[in-house]
Structure 1
Amino acid sequence: MSDGFQAEKSKAAAWFGELRDQIVAAFEHLEDTQVEGPTADMLAGRFERTVTKRTADDGSDAGGGVMSVMRGGRVFEKVGVNTSEVFGELGPAAQKAMAARGVPGMEDDPRFWASGISLVAHMENPHAPAVHMNTRMFWTPHAWWFGGGSDLNPCIEYDEDTEHFHATQKSHLDPHGEDLYPKLKEWADEYFYIPHRNRARGVGGIFMDDRCTGDWQADFALTQDIGRAFLPAYVPLVEKRRNTPWSEDDKDTQLVHRGLYAEYNLVYDRGTKFGLTTGHDANAVLMSLPPMAKWT
């Protein structure tokens, strides 16, 4: 595989940027329409965009991204929708990890390219669920693949919310094969699990990695539909729960659950590990961490 993949790379990176813009607009609309409850008199939140840069060991350009972060809004206490496009050469540890995943030849040609979108939302109202979503494409001269998914992380669970989130994802995946949703749901249940707590971090969703059927267009279309499923799966839940009255006990439950979320992202999350080990902007990589959390 060679740099003839440039058109595919450009197409994927452009799509991740388009999805970011759609989500940012939808979330700012939620802020504008929050006219009830204890946060209604606050200024509607707005995303601040910051360009991030990644520099190779020799000082050359190695890509970067755009951090889009909103803090202290009416609906969102903290939400980030980041995109990135990075490239260069993988170090020895990363080469070894690639080899363990079945990618041959990395010791001879360790070049890589990766682009994606990563989203984490932490809410003002404890009844409105936190959420995570990401999709990405990874390329080396020897292989390419897609990955990502989304999962719901409520601190106060509602069965009907979980059902809606999963049903919406299923409806977007079924056109790609009705056997796909059960597989990606099971994968998410396994991936978003915290062994040292012996529990899941939320109520699940969908997840895939190393997706390469040999048909780039088909795999890219699936990745796009995973992204397209996000807003209709999530926004109705926020609209339903954002005006629910909450107590101090509810807020305490939220903060403890955020501690659980932070543990997972710092100990197990592959994206966090990859971003930090390849030298990407640490603030962008750790955007997923909540603004406040507690441990009992």
Structure 2
Amino acid sequence: MDSQIDFARVRSYLLNLQQQITASFEQLDAPRFIHDPWQRAPSEHLRGDGVSCIIEPGGLLESGGVNFSHVSGDTLPSSATSARPQLAGCSFEALGISLVLHPHNPYCPTVHMNVRLLAAMPAGAHTAPVFWFGGGMDLTPYYGFAEDARHFHRICRDAVAPFGADLYPRFKQACDEYFFLKHRNEPRGIGGIFYDDFSELGFEQGFKLMQSVGDAFTKAYLPIIQARRHLPFGPNEKAFQAYRRGRYVEFNLVCDRGTLFGLQSGGRTESILMSLPPVAHWRYNWKPEPDSPEAQLYSDFLIARDWL
């Protein structure tokens, strides 16, 4: 298995992917993303830079971000060593793209995608870095459409199929298990694929997997929002969207390891928390009316199922 890590090549790919994704949305909508390059002030313990591409408000997209970051530090954050205690105290380098998009129309689902590479450098001149890839994408509808869920999962399956027939079932199950609000006993959405601590293919094939997942994002998501963006809606639909967005906030602040890693590693807070929606509501002990479209989200979509 190859162990040579080409950070420069990964960085170049990720910056190009960021540009391609933002351009694809700008072609659908008039407002442009705000490009906010940043660089950490010099520090002996942490270094890094990135570009946050933010849209708020944006017509089709009520808010969202497509963010690139590349950081390194003297000590790997504890959120990354819980499963690898032997790496505690190692220096590290991490880079990736993370995006969350919240459409204005409640019939368009929120989407999340992330691809990343992280490497830890154990002490010792002849000790090879320990690296792993992570990423995936998942869909969070407010009003479900079975054909959208099937399309999204089909693109996810096709993106990882060249790297092993077992990967989609593994990554789908991991996604269902990870994007789950245990304190609510419910999924965040209809899932997709999720993988972490992934190094079994070596660097070159792992990098190709990253590219395949990243390149599949617009194929998975754009057809869905193009089909739903003009559906009529009213205040009831917006209120339900805001209520369900509350679940999104709960997950990202209570459960998400990526949020914790970003904050623990001294990442840029504004970029990390751009995943939160602009408006979210909570209602005490609320349930949708039986047989309503809102109730159908719970009965038909927020359940573990094989969409293919």
Question: Does residue 33 of structure 2 align to residue 47 of structure 1?
Answer: yes
Amino acid across the alignment from 1:118: S
Identify if the C-alpha distance between structure 1 residues 99 and 250 changes in structure 2 by more than 3 Å, giving closer, same or farther. Answer: closer
1:253 is matched with 240
Which whole-Å CA distance do the structure 1 matches of 2:177 and 2:153 have between them? 16
Shift of 1:169: 1.0
2:83 is matched with 101
TM (norm. structure 2) is 0.85
Contact 1:135 1:149 in 2 (8 A): yes
2:26 is matched with 28
Amino acid across the alignment from 1:270: R
Aligned with 1:157: secondary structure? coil
Contact 1:67 1:284 in 2 (8 A): yes
Identify if the C-alpha distance between structure 1 residues 45 and 198 changes in structure 2 by more than 3 Å, giving closer, same or farther. Answer: same
Which whole-Å CA distance do the structure 2 matches of 1:253 and 1:157 have between them? 13
Structure-to-structure mapping, 1:174-253, within 5 angstroms: 174-213=161-200, 215-253=202-240
The match for 1:131 among 111, 114, 125 is 111
1:294 is matched with 281
Deviates more, 1:145-154 or 1:167-176: 167-176
1:159 is matched with 146
Shift of 1:127: 0.4
Can you list the C-alpha shifts for 1:49-75, whole angstroms capped at 9, x where unaligned? 1122234654x7601211100111120
Which runs of 5 or more residues in structure 1 are unaligned? 32-43
Aligned with 2:27: secondary structure? helix
Which whole-Å CA distance do the structure 1 matches of 2:95 and 2:182 have between them? 29
Which runs of 5 or more residues in structure 2 are unaligned? 122-128, 284-308
CA RMSD of aligned residues (A): 1.7
Identify if the C-alpha distance between structure 1 residues 97 and 284 changes in structure 2 by more than 3 Å, giving closer, same or farther. Answer: closer
Contact 2:111 2:138 in 1 (8 A): yes
Shift of 1:294: 0.6
Amino acid across the alignment from 2:49: G
Can you list the C-alpha shifts for 1:226-265, whole angstroms capped at 9, x where unaligned? 1111100000001000000002111011001111001100
Shift of 1:104: 2.9
Shift of 1:19: 0.8
Aligned with 1:30: secondary structure? coil
Amino acid across the alignment from 1:51: P
Which whole-Å CA distance do the structure 1 matches of 2:79 and 2:239 have between them? 39
The match for 1:78 among 20, 44, 63 is 63
State the identity as a percent.
40
Contact 1:54 1:279 in 2 (8 A): no
Amino acid across the alignment from 1:84: S
